A = this chain, B = another copy of it.
Amino acid sequence: MSGATPATFALPARFLGLARNDRDAAVCIAGIPLDIGTTNRAGARDGPAAIRRASRMLVDGAHPIHRTEPAEMDVADIGDFAIALGDIERSLALIEAQAEGLAHLVALGGEHGITLPLLRALARRTGPLALVHFDAHVDTWPDSFGQRYGHGSVFFHAIEEGLIDPHRTVQIGIRSPMGNDVHDWTLARGVRIVPAEAAHERGPAAVAEEIRAIVGDAPAYLSVDVDVLDPAFAPGTGTPEIGGLASWQLLAMLRRLGGVRFAGMDVVEVAPAYDVAEITALAAATVAWEYLAMMGRPAGP
């Protein structure tokens, strides 16, 4: 709250107010306003702008535990990726192309469908990735209501295409209805599912420890579907499920993943039209900020 900067409400709506916008930064923030593959409520296209606005609360000061300052790091907000209106497959190709060549991408969705092309672009460089996946849904359906590359089939394809290593994949917060066949397929691939109730009962420290054990020292990707939070904490999303995590639990897990070798992340499925007092957008912004703050500190749990 130093006197040299404008008050929060007068800040420009760039992520953390970042002036830098070139693709050469150590970490690039990009919005990906795709939502045409969603299967319940629409509107995730407006997620990136809402997350940026909400991030203004986080511009000034250090993380209270890590003591690092994300807004002072080697990070740029490179704006939004172009997509193809009305055509999901062409949109995925465009996203993959734009992700190429970035050192480390933090993507602001947009629907969860954007994760597949991001993994394609990344795995080409790193090989199969470990995956830390916070979500209410496993997203391993072979299709989304008949749509091959919808937001419910992302990790089916990621596994089938060898982009992620299912034995180094952990899904936390799962609780939606799902076909028993989908459930069994996922478990049979070796994916570790931590249901929402288990996460509540065991507490964030224990779950974080398990995540670190599963991921090990593989290059890893973090994908946070904001609907991992309970709708009380994240009403502004398209496919809510009750019984989800509290925001403090999500943050408490993230800040205990310090030793993981993350190569990229996304936070997706913010649908601002259903939000209240921008609390969902703020949750998503804080997740990205927490990730940056964690990266800025020495490794270790």
Contact = CB atoms under 8 A, between A and B. Distances in A.
Give the interface centre of A1, A252, A279 by most chain B CB atoms within 10 Å: A1
Interface stretch (A121-129, A170-178, A258-266): A170-178
Interface in A3-21: 3-10, 12-13
Contacts of A67: 180, 183
Interface string A211-243: 000000000000000000011110110011111
Contacts of A233: 230-232, 242
A189 to B, nearest CB: 17
- Give the number of copies in the complex: 6
Nearest to A111: B86
Contact of A242 (B84, B145, B180, B282): B282
Interface stretch (A58-66, A98-106, A159-167): A58-66
B143 A177 contact: no
A61 B176 contact: yes
A117 to B, nearest CB: 14
A9 B45 contact: yes
Give the interface centre of A63, A87, A143, A277 by most chain B CB atoms within 10 Å: A277
A49 B33 CA distance: 20
Given A67-B180, A177-B63, A236 B277 contact: yes
**Chain A contact residues, majority secondary structure:** loop
A242 to B, nearest CB: 4
A86 B86 CA distance: 6
A249 to B, nearest CB: 8
A84 B146 contact: yes
Given A144-B1, A279-B231, A64 B7 contact: no
Contacts of A175: 64
A86 B37 contact: yes
A73 interface: no
A85 to B, nearest CB: 4
B248 A200 contact: yes
Contact of A244 (B43, B84, B152, B248): B248
A7 B85 contact: yes
B45 A86 contact: no
Give the interface centre of A64, A201, A274 by most chain B CB atoms within 10 Å: A64
Interface in A265-301: 273-277, 279, 282-283, 286, 289
B64 A9 contact: no
A25 interface: no
Interface of A: 1-10, 12-13, 33, 35-37, 39-43, 45-46, 49, 53, 56-65, 67, 69, 79-80, 82-89, 141, 143-147, 149-150, 152-153, 174-180, 182-183, 195-197, 200-201, 203, 205, 230-233, 235-236, 239-244, 246-249, 251-252, 273-277, 279, 282-283, 286, 289
